[in-house]
Structure 1
């Protein structure tokens, strides 16, 4: 049995869209990180990814599966159980994502300043 995911594993105040390197969509890196410890059910992924809608989580998981990063396994039985797990290709992304996350943390202030400077609200006519 895998250790439960920490509901606070992603800081809600951390602007995840500031990471300049993305695999798939905005959520893919976080999903991959959630699957690092082993297979997870959809409901388990929803705990730390509470800001993602079920529809978008499903779309992201399908895209990760299509790209060969995640495998979806259906366990038959009275209570059907579906689990998602990283493939070896998906696992190969973990180091890259750790490096990108560390870089973004080191440059967070600069990234936020650049976004604020470029935002339409900060521009004067």
Structure 2
């Protein structure tokens, strides 16, 4: 049962990585190469999952890999949600005082870029994501 829910999760995360809003903010942060690599990894994983489910080859190794993949998929989903939130936040109208406050607080683009770069690379770097 858990195996059948994993494929839609991975497809959803891959779709979110391809979302125009997410791509805009990621490009603005200079992380587009990392996003493209993550998207390619997710598509490859999606193919492997579909093949495994189609053949019914769910052995102990594959089940363990799928459990780890599920955790990374949720983590990737959270990271991409952060990019979506940032894109929507930037679209909202702001007063001058809010712009200044955003610049000097944790919402500055530089800090956001640094934080999200670490998160995105952390998700993408999981060697077992490639199986």
Alignment TM-score, normalising by the size of structure 2: 0.30
Question: Structure with the greater relative contact order (CA < 8 A, sep ≥ 6): 1 or 2?
Answer: 2
The structure where strand makes up a greater share of residues is: 1
The structure where helix makes up a greater share of residues is: 2
